[in-house]
């Protein structure tokens, strides 16, 4: 069942939605979430998977953690991160679907212009 939102959106809700998009507006965070979608991972594993520095990965994981998108748990000497809010993937899939439709429309227009 779809969530029914009030219209117009209350200012506080608008800010919360914008905050969520700001968190996801960084490509490294999307890469980290995509890797964590496979399985929980340590900072070291995420550093290797993304070819980024440990400092950069840790910084972005902190943002994702504060936003409630990832959870962390101690695993011996390491901290293991995992997805805390799987709804983030629904959003990504919606965006990817929109991009796919946009690309199809662009290909259609370019194809028509190429034959004209």
pLDDT tens-digit map of 40-65: 999 999 999 999 999 999 999 999 99
Residues 90 and 80 in one domain: no
65 and 94 in a common domain: no
Say if 43 falls within a structural domain.
Answer: yes
Quick one: 91 and 79 in the same domain? no
Instruction: Tell whether 16 and 39 lie within a shared domain.
Output: yes
| 65 φψ region: left (φ > 0), alpha (ψ -120 to 50), beta (else) | alpha
Domain range holding 107? Answer: 86-116
Q: Both 26 and 66 in a single domain?
A: yes
Return the higher-pLDDT residue of 69 and 100: 69
Calpha distance 76→73 (Å, rounded): 10
pTM of the complete model: 0.82
Q: What phi and psi values does residue 81 have, to the nearest 5 degrees?
A: -105, 145
- Statement to judge: residues 66 and 96 lie in one domain: no
Q: How many domains does the chain have?
A: 2
């Amino acid at each position: 069942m779809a969530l029914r939102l009030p219209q117009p959106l209350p200012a506080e809700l608008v800010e919360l939605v914008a905050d969520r998009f700001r968190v996801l507006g960084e490509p490294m965070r999307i890469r980290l979430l995509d890797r964590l979608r496979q399985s929980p991972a340590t900072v070291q594993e995420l550093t290797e998977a993304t070819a980024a520095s440990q400092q950069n990965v840790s910084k972005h994981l902190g943002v994702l953690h504060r936003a409630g998108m990832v959870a962390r748990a101690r695993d011996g000497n390491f901290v293991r991160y995992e997805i805390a809010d799987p709804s983030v993937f629904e959003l990504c899939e919606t965006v990817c679907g929109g991009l796919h439709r946009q690309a199809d429309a662009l290909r259609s227009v370019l194809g028509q212009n190429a034959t004209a």
